[in-house]
Amino acid sequence: MRPHGVHLHHGLETGHQQGGELSHPLFDLLAAVQASGSIQRAAASLGASYRHVWGALKRWESELGRPLVTWTQGHPAQLTPHAQALLARERLLRARHAPQIAALRADLERLFEYAAGDEALVLELPAVPDLALTLLRDAAIERHGLHLALQPRCSADALAALASGRSPVAAFALPQDAAAEPALAAPLAALAGGGFVVLLALRRTLGLMAPAQALPGGVAAVVEAGLRLAGRPPGSSAEIVWRRLCRRAGFAPPVPARVEPTHEAAATAVAQGLADAAFGCESAAAAQGLAFRPLAEDRLLLAAAAEAPEPPALAALRAAVADATWRQALSALPGVEPLPAATALAS
């Protein structure tokens, strides 16, 4: 083991980072070479000189003790298999931890606002990670002065926090006939009893995602071919739907090759060649440039306790949900469709 450790730093700069974005010189270099196939073009994309990029790559090779790039005059520069695997794994790690990284970044931004005496409203939201909620968070702070602090949770935990009164608001995903699932039945019954309102309801298209040339035809194709499947955690909406689809097709649900905490992480695993296929949201597949075969649907709900008078932070959340700019951004997400909020819990 080398005597080095990872040191994380943060700072204030112009502009904003989003989601799980983290920068590191090594992975910036590898990504630029992979995308361009040229040291010269990689240097141009990074705003650096050829000499600087070449020297940095050589220093990293010396540091790691492994070759990272193969290059000969007149031929494209290529990452070595080890460097390709290194870059793929780093991208997957960032996708896995994107919700937590984004939550930490938001907390630090609030800390610096406090230091400058410029605090905004804050509302903590236990929520399943979802691209639509990420867009909502951005709209809330940019146009409504609300820090929507997304706290990554599975649906059962988010539901329980709302139903028990531990949180005034929560976002969760539900499969059809969700009450038949033991982990969801009790909190759903509490919500159905009244005292709660649905602020937002979205229908999400679920299906298989894979590279276009290898997109499975359906459940049977995945199971019979023994494909490496990137699955979702037990009890998640996508895992429940996948399990039901397998049994409906006459198969025992196969053990996934890997379990990823979000739709985006599952899609990233496939895009980086670490899995053959995944089952999840169409929007996650599109974000990674994967082909998609729709097979089912679920619902993403944002619900709140019905309080009178309404707290200012919750009023700001309602305004963000109704925001026309956010709604327009939402309409651009593939496989996402608004539903009437009034009937969302009953459907």
Mean pLDDT of 33-53: 90
Quick one: pLDDT band at residue 181, thresholds 50, 70, 90? Answer: confident
> At 99, which amino acid appears?
P
Alpha carbon separation from 71 to 10, 79, 162 (Å, rounded): 35, 9, 57
Q: In the prediction, which pLDDT does 55 show?
A: 92
User: What are the structural domain ranges in the chain?
Assistant: 17-118, 120-347
Q: Is the pLDDT of residue 280 over 90?
A: yes
Q: How far apart are CA 55 and CA 82, in angstroms?
A: 19
Read off the pLDDT of each residue in 290-316 and give the average, rounded to a whole number.
91
* Confidence (pLDDT) at 77: 85
Give the model's pLDDT for residue 304. Answer: 93
Query: What band does 346 get if pLDDT is binned at 50, 70 and 90?
Result: low
pLDDT of res. 120: 78
Average pLDDT, the chain: 89
Instruction: Return the exposure string of 63-82: e unless at least 16 CB atoms fall within 10 Å of the residue's CB, then b.
Output: eeeeebbeeeeeeebebeee
Do residues 88 and 96 make contact, with C-beta atoms less than 8 angstroms apart?
no
Q: Which pLDDT score, from 0 to 100, does residue 2 have?
A: 58
- Give the Cα separation of 166 and 190 in Å (integer): 13
Mean pLDDT in residue range 180-207:
87
Q: Mean of the pLDDT values across residues 296-321?
A: 90
Q: Which residues contact 70 (CB under 8 A, 6 or more apart)?
A: 77, 78, 79, 80
- Express each pLDDT in 95-114 by its tens digit: 999 888 888 888 888 888 87
Average pLDDT over residues 138-165: 90
Q: Say yes or no to pLDDT of 218 above 90.
A: yes
Q: Which architecture does CATH list for 17-118?
A: Orthogonal Bundle (1.10)
- Given a cut of 70, is residue 345 above it in pLDDT? no
Q: Mapping DSSP to helix (H, G, I), strand (E, B) and coil, where does residue 292 land?
A: strand
Dihedral angle of Cα 25, 26, 29, 31, to the nearest 10 degrees: -110
pTM of the model: 0.89
Per-residue model confidence (pLDDT) at position 101: 87
Q: Above pLDDT 70, what percent of the chain? A: 96
Using DSSP bridges, classify how beta strands 229-231 and 258-259 pair: parallel, antiparallel or unpaired: parallel
Q: How confident is the model at residue 133 (pLDDT cuts 50, 70, 90)?
A: very high
Distance (Å, whole) CA 210 – CA 269: 10
- What is the model's pLDDT at position 14? 76
Write out pLDDT tens, residues 70-79.
877 767 889 9
pLDDT at residue 344, rounded to an integer: 65
Contact yes or no for 165/146 (Cβ under 8 A): no
Burial class of 41 by CB neighbour count within 10 A (0 to 12, 13 to 18, 19+): middle
Predicted confidence at residue 229, as pLDDT, reads 97
Rounded distance between C-alpha atoms, residue 110 and residue 121, angstroms: 10
Give the confidence band of 194 by pLDDT, cuts at 50, 70, 90. confident
Confidence (pLDDT) at 184: 84
Query: Coil, helix or strand for 12?
Result: coil
- CATH code for residues 120-347: 3.40.190.290
Asked if residue 178 lies in contact with residue 189, where contact means CB atoms within 8 angstroms, the answer is no
**Separation between Cα atoms, residue 127 and residue 301, nearest integer Å:** 10
Question: What pLDDT, in 10s, does the model give residues 249-261?
Answer: 999 999 999 999 9
* Long-range Cβ pairs for the range 258-261 (8 Å, 24+): 258/228, 258/230, 258/231, 259/230, 259/231, 259/232, 259/233, 260/95, 260/96, 260/230, 260/231, 260/232, 261/96, 261/99, 261/129, 261/152, 261/232, 261/233
Question: For position 342, what pLDDT does the model report?
Answer: 67
- Per cent of the chain over pLDDT 90 is 63
